[in-house]
Amino acid sequence: MSTTFNGIWYYRSFYNASISIAAGAVIGSPKLAEPWTPLARLDVSTDAAGTVRGKLTFPQGVVLEIEGRVTEVPSPLPSALWSGLKRGVTLTGKTQTSIYQLQGWFVPDENQVVGSIVSVQNDIGRQPDGTSGHFILVRKSE
C-alpha cells in the first residue's frame, strides 16, 4: 500500500442545506455547496498497511482526531469518468462529542483528494446530525 497520504494537507468542506418542496415547487432558495468549515490543516501519516492517523486542526483551536484507511479503487469502475482514480481514503474524524465520516478519492496526480462528508453526531458548526456535503484536501507544497 502506498504511503503518499503522509504529510500536511489543507482541508475545506461545504454542505448542502435541506431543500423543501411543496406542491411540486422548491420553497425558498436552496443552499448548495455552502462553506461548512474554515480552511483547516490536516497532519497525517499512513503506515505500510494503509492505516491513517492524524489531526485536523481548525483556526479556532478545534482538533479532530483522524483515523482510517487508504483503499484501492475496485476495478473496473462503473463509469469512464472515474477511470483515472486508483486510490481512495475512508476516514473518521472525532472530538470528544462530534463524529464525522469521510470518503474521498485521490485525483490522478495524488496531490488532491475530493469526496463526501457526513456529520454523524454533534456537528461543531451546529448543523443537524446527518448533514452531508463535500470536501477537498490539497497537499501542502514543499
Query: CATH number of the domain that 13 lies in?
Result: 2.40.128.120
Q: Is it the case that residue 21 has pLDDT exceeding 80? A: yes
In a domain, 107, yes or no: yes
In a domain, 11, yes or no: yes
pTM reported for the whole predicted model: 0.84
Distance CA 121, CA 92 (A): 12
Give residue-wise pLDDT tens across range 70-100. 988 766 655 555 566 678 999 999 999 999 9
Band (pLDDT 50/70/90 cuts) for residue 133 is very high
- Residue (of 91, 101, 96) closest to 129 by Cα position: 101
In a domain, 123, yes or no: yes
In a domain, 26, yes or no: yes
One-letter amino acid at 77 equals: L
In a domain, 23, yes or no: yes
Task: Report the number of distinct structural domains present in the chain.
Answer: 1
Distance CA 100, CA 18 (A): 18
In a domain, 125, yes or no: yes
Give residue-wise pLDDT tens across range 28-83. 787 778 899 999 999 999 999 999 999 999 998 999 999 999 988 766 655 555 56
In a domain, 1, yes or no: no
The residue segments making up the domain with residue 70 are: 7-139
In a domain, 2, yes or no: no
